[in-house]
Amino acid sequence: MIKKDKRYIYTLAFAYSLLIIIIVSLPAFFYITVEKKSYLQTQRQHLLHYAYGVEKTIYDFSRTKEHVFTFPRSLFYDAYLYDAKGKLLFSTSSHKHRLQEFMKPLKNLIYAKVILNANRLHAKYLVITQLFSYKEIYLRAVIAALLIGAIVFFMTLFFIKISLRPLEKVNRYLNTFFNDAMHELKTPLGVMQLNLELLRAQKETKTLRRLFSSMQSMILIYDDIEYHIKHDHVEYRSENMDMSYFVLERAEVFEDLAKAKNISIVKEIEEDIYFEINRIELQRIIDNTLSNAIKYSPRDTKINVVLRKKDAKIVLSVRDEGVGIKDTQSIFERYHREDTIQGGFGIGLSIVKHICEKYNILIKVSTKKGKGSTFSYIFVNNSA
């Protein structure tokens, strides 16, 4: 399985997990709301229970003849004693709250206020406070959501992989078939090309020219399919290519295809232009662009092939006088064909886009209906 397919599976599993979490989030919201109310009520009950314990300790002290009262201490609660006028008599906290503050809800604080009976401390009000937040509730909710998401993610991933096993098996068979088929086709194509070249050398005829043009088209399709099959697991190493010579050579190869439609290829190529790129990948860019220019151009027109260098940039442009392009974005999608009547597999420009992305080559397409199109490739020359 190729890396792109694996990314798709992981993305699908993640999206499905996220969808499940979103669906579960609505009932989870109501659950958290109820849980918050229950949690608050429970904490208040604990607070009241502690307050009543402190109240009992004060009354017990009042019934004795002891001179020193030991106020109960707690790590969780703070206590305040006030007289009948609201004056603070005692506090276990460094923060001194006034009695009036406990007449309304306080932020991040819950409290219990008890009115005391007569006692030896002369205290009228006992207030017990506790710092309070819903962090525990939210933390539990987040952990539960992550746990559910992880379970759904791995289960989805597992079932997707199980369901794709038959397809992977078929894919392996198809890859083996295509590799064997491509290997078997290469030899007869080479023999046919060689013999046609020998025949043309002896006597040039219109029939031989058409046969050779058809052979060149078959070789182009073969090279595209071969690259399409191999590019994921074959390393194409770069070399310092003489682009001037190579573009000229490829343009001359396509002149036979162009002659079949009485199309002339005009070459404007500057000399001594070099770029670090793999030979096969550069050929795929040039061949596919020239092939499409010839395919979609009417008879008795011309194609301009321009290669020039400006500063650190190299610009290769191919301009035709064809029918124009309806959608300049979708033509680079795999299996897209601008005109189904012209035939083809629709992978040529997809391969071109892949190679250009690999080498950070900028593609520009300008077109005018009925007037033609121009494909420009801008190379940043690192060896300049």
Instruction: Give me the pLDDT at residue 232, please.
Output: 64
pTM for the whole thing? 0.52
Q: Is the pLDDT of residue 286 over 70?
A: yes
Mind listing the domains of the chain with CATH numbers? Answer: 3-136 (no CATH), 236-380 (3.30.565.10)
Share of the chain above pLDDT 70, in %: 88
Residue 1 has pLDDT above 50, yes or no: no
For the ranges 125-139, 193-207, 247-261, 317-331, the lowest mean pLDDT is seen at: 193-207
Is residue 340 very low, low, confident or very high in pLDDT (cuts 50, 70, 90)? very low
Residue 34 has pLDDT above 80, yes or no: yes
What's the mean pLDDT in 115-139?
89
pLDDT digits (tens, 9 = 90+) for 37-50: 888 899 999 999 99
Report pLDDT for 336. 45
pLDDT of residue 126: 93
| pLDDT tens sequence across 227-283 | 766 666 667 788 999 999 999 988 988 887 888 888 999 999 999 999 999 888 898
Mean pLDDT, the chain, whole residue set:
82
pLDDT of residue 2: 46
pLDDT over 60 at 339, yes or no: no
* pLDDT digits 0-9 by tens, 287-301: 889 988 988 889 899
Q: What is the pLDDT of residue 39?
A: 86
The whole-angstrom separation of Cα 276 and Cα 239 is 5
What does the pLDDT read at residue 141? 80
